[in-house]
Amino acid sequence: MYRVVYPVFILAFYFGFWFSDSFKDVREEVAEHSDLFFGVHLYTTLVVVIAAITMGIFSKAIHRMDVQTLYGGILKKLDSALAEMEELKN
């Protein structure tokens, strides 16, 4: 599931920021100096899409790092508790 979720988050944030009212002036300025493709700047969109695809490819490693960062301490405590229970069992 994370292979899809991470890229979707990147694309949702990009398009959400691009089409938000706070970037209206930026959109108008970009439209004056370059062509827009379906309302988005082509080269920036390509970079974001390539980043999303790359994140989809490496999502397993990214997910592993996320879990380790968020739950690493808890997982270590659980492992030590399991080891103690196994020791008491024997």
The string of pLDDT tens digits covering residues 15-73 is 887 777 777 787 777 777 777 667 777 778 888 889 999 988 888 888 888 889 999 88
Contact between residue 53 and residue 45 where contact means Cβ atoms under 8 Å apart: no
pTM to 2 decimals?
0.62
C-alpha 90/C-alpha 85 separation (Å) is: 9
Is residue 3 a contact partner of residue 56, using CB atoms and an 8 Å limit?
Answer: yes
Cβ neighbours of residue 53 under 8 Å, at least 6 residues apart? 7
- Cβ contacts of residue 17 below 8 Å, gap of 6+? 23
